[in-house]
Each structure stands twice: as C-alpha cells, then as structure tokens.
A and B are shown apart, each in its own frame.
Chain A
C-alpha cells in the first residue's frame, strides 16, 4: 500500500476514534460514571502490565485470524456472518481429534492434527453456506446465521450427550484435557508461540494473496462487478467457494486455538463471540489487511480492560460492548462521509 493511502486511513481511523470517544463519554456522563477513571482503568487493565498484555494477545490471536478470513469473503462481496459458526466447528473438530490423543504419548502429533481438523471443520461449515449461495441462491447471511445456530446446537448436544463428563450433565463443558494436550506457551507472557505464529502467518498470507496473486485479483474483480468479471472469463462461483474456504479455514484455526490454548476443553461459549466481533473489526479496519489487526488489538484491549470496570468502579463491563458498537457506527458514518466527498469531487469534475 502506498504511504499516502496508509496515512489517509490512519487519519480516518483517528477521526473515528475521536467520534467514538466523544460518544462513549456522553454515555458515561449520562450514567454518571467517572469518565477519566473509566478510560484509565480500561487502559491500565489491558496494557498496564506484561501479564495483561499477554491476555490481550491471547484475545487478539483468534480475533485476527477471523478478521483475516473475513477479508477474503468481503473482498468478493460476501457477508460471511457464519464466521461465528465456523469458529465453533473448528473447535468441535479440534476437540474430536484431541479426544483420541488423551491417552496417547504423541501429544504433539495430536495438537498438530487438531489444527488441521480445525481448518477442515471451519472450511466445511463455510463451504455449506457457500454452496447454498452458489448453487441454491440462498443469501449467505441467512445461511450463515442458520448454520451458527446449528453449530451451537451441535456443541450443546455433544456436551450434554456423547462428550459429557462422567455422571454430570452441565453446560460447564467437557472434561479438561490433560496438560500434554495444551498448546505449549512461553513462561513469561503465557502466550503460545504457535498461536502468535498462526496469527502473523494469517496476516502475511492474506496480504500476499489479496495483493499479488491471481486469486486475489479475481476475488476483487468478482467483488467489484460479478457480471463484468464473468464477461472477462472469471466465473464468480468457484471464487466464492474459495473465499469461503479461506474464511472458514482461518476461523477454524481460531476455534482450535480456543480449545487448545485458552479453555482446554469444549464449552458452549467456546467461540467467545469472536466471529461477530471480527466482522466489526474488519468493517472498522476499512477492509484493510494491515489496519484490521490493529483494530483487533484495540478490541482485544477493550475486552480485557473492561473487566476492571466492575472490579474498580462497580460499573457493568458491558460498556466495552457499547464502545465497540459505537466504533463501528462511527466507522460506517466515516465511510458514508468519504463516499459523499468523493461523489462531490466527481460531480465537480463533470460540471
């Protein structure tokens, strides 16, 4: 990306953030909460120590993975709401593999297989939505949403049924995996190097794919104008499926990491809403592969830092949700504003 463009994006981002802060401040003032203290605690609670920074990174990894996946589908013009279910499916497939590894001595092998299984799980779930879209003309938003509910139901069924803890029927989740099947993490920050690696790999791979490969170009072509792309010999359908596979695959890795790195078991809330959150991340990140991870970092900070609100100020931590929602609205407003300026410029050109 050209530096100039990057500069423009960062300018818009900062302007967006300003709007968000303004909006949040108004809400805080209305509720009578101490404004400065709230920001201070969210900030300190997310970046105030190495341990907290480690927690933020742990949230950032799956969020970034999902965001990277969504970049493919957004590029081709698909609204992959089903990303949430794709995370869940990744988690389910990973858990299924790990269950075989409980008694095994080759735990590394099973951890590796679980990542592959996660990719497969997410990709299959995404492919279903993609196939419904390309073959059946079902809008991917509806298909995705429906599949999210199905994935959630499958998790509940597994936890209550075949994968239940002995003698127990509880939504607390499946039996904890033995330590050998936890993703190894560094001592200092308790971050898993494999998790970090997969997040960065996803960013770089996505950047390269979208920028330099034929696939990236075709995705863009179809996204911009499917009919024109078709006339140029680019069939939209296979590329849509491909984009869905990428999205599902990355989300599946996120789901797998939620099992192997964060919770060490399967539980109903395994996806932690990261899929839905990633949609917001990408929109706020202007569908850009370099900005989205930064936005994901910001959201991760909010997620971790907002725990301080009930602890220090007796405030409800759902305020972070308000900030996240306000961010996206502000970003969409910013886009609308930009479009208007551009259309004015174009209008002026023709006059």
Chain B
C-alpha cells in the first residue's frame, strides 16, 4: 500500500516538474494585431477616485484605438500586495503580451524605472513622475501628468464662495512637490474668490492642510482620513477639499449634514465622485486620462515615441470635453446658481489668461520668495513647489 502511495507521490511531483520546466515565450510577437497595454493602479480599480479615473482612461483607449486591449492590476502597493514588487508585475504584463506599461502612482517611481531599464524594448509611461526632467529616465520611459493645479484652483474657488465660517480644510495625502503644488493651488483659488468675488480680507480666510501620510488610508500606518474629516467639521471648517485618492470626506460630510451641521465637500480625481452626494458636493476637479493615453500609445504604434515629460492641461474651449481636455471640473448639485456663474466667469478668465494666480508676488510659508513681483511662474517652478504658500496652515514638509 505504502509503495503504491510513494509511486503516486513521485509521479505527482514528476508532473509538477515537467509542468514547471518549460518557459513560455512571449506570445505577442506571433500575433502583431492587438496592441496590449498594461495598467498598474495603486488603488482599487473601482475606488471612485484616482485609480478609477485611470481605469476608465484605459477603457477609453480600448474604444478609440482599434485592437487596443488593456490588462490591469489594481491595488499595487506594498500594503495590499505584500511581497510583490513593480518589476515582478511588469514581467507578468510582458508575458501576457503588453508592449506598453502605464504606472499610475508616484509610489511606483523607483520600481518602474528599474523595470524600464531591464526591458528596453517595452515602453513605459510613469504618471505623475519627473524622471525625464531629472535625467534619470531611460529612453523607453516617459512622464505624463495633468495640470491639476487649475482644477484645484476651481475647487478652492467654490469652497471659498460657499464657506460660512471662512474656514476651509484640505485633506492632504503625503507631502511632496505634487501635493504641495495642488494644496497651494486650491488655496490660491480660494483666496482669489474671497478677495475678488466676495471682497473680503484674505486675512480672515483660514486654510488648513492636514496630511494623512499616503494617497489613501492604510489602517495602522496612515492617519485615518475619516477621522481627519470629522475633526475639520467639528472645529468649524464647513468645507473640506479632498486631496487624497479615495472618497472618505464625502461620507463624513453626509453624516455631518444628517446631524444638522453645515458641511460641504469638494472631492477629487474622478468625474463621478459627486454621484449620490448631491446634498454636500460642490463639484469635483477630475482627471480625464483617455486622450493622454491615446497619444502615448499612438506614438508607440506610429514609431514617434519620445522619452518626454508631458504635462497636459484643460481644453479651455470646454474643460469637460472628453476627447481633448485632460483636466475638468463638474459642478455638484450643492453649488448655488450664483456661485456657478462666478465659477464659469473664473474659468473663462483662466482660459483667456486674464487671471493668472501663479503670478508674483507670492511667498512661501516661511516668508521666503516664491515669485517676485510680476514674475509668472515657469512650469518647473510650479512643478517643484518647495513649500506651502504664505497664508496657509499646515506642514510644508516632514517635521
């Protein structure tokens, strides 16, 4: 009996070995037709926030480019996928035939650069990164991002028009150049509305930034964004602008509204973020990744690929046009008609260049000069924002 058992066991292991031994060459070379691209999402594909915006951008590519096919992996972060690294996932996408890989998070910067230098024949798009600017990018890696500072200015603008207490809370993710840039833009938009639409003293506007430590909540690791939002509303901040990838602030605002408090919220990232929260949502600045993705993939197909740093803005003709505008803003039902009118006028001024909020004199939080009087910020100055701006409260860097 035992002999038979041993024999079965050895046959079993033998087959396992046979199965495991042959490597499977990449199959895409055989059939050139479908263009497979991989998408690495830092959060869940259906987070109603940052990652979902990317996921739907990928779906847009599938619709617009014949034969394009997306494969995606979501929750790509060490907390959700312990022991899995970016280069590993890229290997996997390649085995499935991906010829271009899009990494959607700042957190993937090092991993995607490593993968790009390992696979020179595959193309890589790192969203939100600056490896091309810093010269660290290999030839097959490019950077893509949207000029969300405009979206955030609009967010700040509606927040300032709405607040009754004059106190705006900004729910920040982690601290880096990007997040300082976006929080500061929201502040500039708020101050502009406060000063030029409401004609109030900017000194009376309170703008508090509280950072949680990552793009979304990781229990036990980051500060809990739900808690932070509660604190804002409990301390008289009646509008919260979300800067994180997920939607906690909306839920808290709805809860506060049920308790009979004044509470509004401006979520972030995803065009549909206001759905189901009409009583509290003032509007959402969102990314529309589709057109940017299409251009990257077309460049690979036509052979025009360049390792470049691309920063795409809104289409000022219509910032919500899905085929052209990378940055948009949809207003929420809680925004009064008068505020909506002011917002539209503000967007027009921005588009026409009549209003430029990133123009000197502007000072950093410690009083040092960000922009001299009359100086208009260059792309690099905006991108590499070293501190929060004067007038904002909250940490500019780690203590």
Contact = CB atoms under 8 A, between A and B. Distances in A.
B263 to A, nearest CB: 28
Interface string A280-292: 0000000000000
Interface string A1-24: 000100100110010000000000
A52 B92 CA distance: 8
A311 interface: yes
Interface stretch (B76-84, B185-193, B325-333, B355-363): B76-84
A4 B1 CA distance: 12
A262 B24 CA distance: 24
B374 interface: no
A51 B78 contact: no
Interface stretch (A111-119, A163-171, A232-240): A163-171
- The dominant DSSP class at the B interface is loop
A303 interface: yes
Contacts of A48: 20, 24
B397 A167 contact: yes
B71 A311 contact: yes
A48 B27 CA distance: 14
Contact of B73 (A263, A274, A310): A310
B23 interface: yes
Contact of A171 (B16, B81, B110, B218): B218
A168 B399 contact: no
A236 B399 CA distance: 46
A7 B95 contact: no
Contact of B213 (A4, A170, A262): A170
B221 interface: yes
B211 A169 contact: yes
A205 interface: no
Interface residues of B, number: 46
A224 B24 CA distance: 50
Interface residues of A, number: 48
Given A169-B175, A310-B74, A53 B20 contact: yes
Contacts of B220: 152
A272 B9 contact: no
Contacts of B399: 161
A172 B218 CA distance: 12
Nearest to B105: A172
A311 B82 contact: no
A263 B81 CA distance: 13
A273 B89 contact: no
Nearest to A6: B6
A167 B177 contact: yes
A264 B397 CA distance: 24
A272 B398 contact: no
Interface in B181-224: 211, 213-214, 218, 220-222
A58 B174 CA distance: 30
A172 B95 contact: no
Contacts of B386: 167
A264 B95 CA distance: 24
A268 B83 contact: no
Contacts of A274: 82-83
In this complex, the member of A49, A52, A59, A171 whose beta carbon has the largest number of chain B beta carbons within 10 angstroms is A171
A169 B395 contact: yes
B175 A269 contact: no
A307 B174 contact: no
A267 B78 contact: yes
Interface string B373-388: 0000000000000100
Contacts of A55: 88, 91
B79 A268 contact: yes
Nearest to B222: A171
A167 B6 CA distance: 61
A176 B82 contact: no
B174 A171 contact: yes
B395 to A, nearest CB: 7
Contact of B221 (A11, A43, A161, A171): A171
Interface in A300-333: 303-304, 307-308, 310-311, 317
A47 interface: yes
Interface of A: 4, 7, 10-11, 14, 43, 45, 47-53, 55, 58-59, 152, 156, 160-161, 164, 167-172, 176, 262-265, 267-274, 303-304, 307-308, 310-311, 317
Can you list the 7 inter-chain pairs with the closest CB atoms, starting with the nearest? Answer: A169-B398, A272-B82, A170-B174, A169-B175, A269-B78, A272-B83, A171-B214
9 contacts: A7-B2, A7-B5, A47-B20, A49-B24, A49-B95, A164-B398, A170-B176, A171-B221, A307-B92
Interface of B: 2, 5-6, 9, 16, 19-20, 23-24, 71-75, 78-79, 81-85, 88-89, 91-92, 95-96, 106-107, 110, 174-177, 211, 213-214, 218, 220-222, 386, 395, 397-399
Given A164-B398, A171-B222, A303-B82, 19 more contacts: A4-B2, A7-B6, A11-B5, A43-B19, A45-B92, A47-B20, A49-B23, A50-B23, A51-B95, A59-B83, A152-B220, A168-B175, A169-B211, A171-B174, A172-B214, A269-B78, A269-B79, A310-B74, A311-B72
